[in-house]
Structure 1
């Protein structure tokens, strides 16, 4: 089994064991937090570069969370992924954020995603897959859709 495939299986298994579910099922008994993502996306010559920083606006710390990135185009066979990230489908990558202190930020996440085809545009959807059981009532800052055109321009979210 390839190293990337092993990592994908391990991360996917951890998500299942930790009770990761859809974003709508996040209202667990944990503390309240406000997870947010800020970053940039650039599409050039069939390669998508994504850089983001997860933040927690508070009021409580989050020990770990998982951000999901979904694309409108198929990924190439071997995307370059940060440590703690895994490909979980033809168009989907998940990454752990690390600890998110109260009013603090997690680790920087950088992805270089080659695409199977060279589309003129790609819709990039970013959202929280799992947030450690915290309740997050403000999804305006953790659910983004960015349309990136294949011009080499950078789009912020």
Structure 2
């Protein structure tokens, strides 16, 4: 019985030719975070967002999602790195992020479908360029933005 169990365990390590199969390469880890401000005035919200990578690996590219609690106007003029994902959602590419690096600021202006006195903005990482991020405490943010013209930091 013991011989059979050892032989079965070795079958997963050896290929048909008897050569050892290499273990898969470990997935690099990076700690992505997003910081910035959101200002709402006159039915428009201006988000300024800066991605940061706490390492330990570089990130070749990442995608961040911006989701509003209210519908966005149909026509939007979004930055080149951004695309509309749904009625209330925009996704943006961050570009490459060096280890312990700060990416370029994303300026994402949006128009709301209807004027509102407040919106909730949710920001989260969608894709990390093939890296894993075990600390989600800093890559998922929710901020209440009032229509005061004041900048709300996150």
* Gap regions ≥5 residues in structure 2: 1-25
1:1-157 matches, cutoff 5 A? 29-157=26-154
CA distance in 2, matches of 1:48, 1:133: 31
TM-score by length of 2: 0.81
TM-score by length of 1: 0.80
Runs of 4+ in 1 over 3 A off after TM superposition: none
CA distance in 2, matches of 1:103, 1:35: 10
Higher Rg? 2
Aligned residues: 130
Q: 1:17 — aligned with what?
A: none
* Gap regions ≥5 residues in structure 1: 1-28
> What is the CA deviation profile of residues 85-108 of structure 1, one whole-angstrom value per residue up to 9, with x for unaligned ones?
000100000000000110002221
Match of 2:126, SS state, is strand
Match of 1:128, SS state, is strand
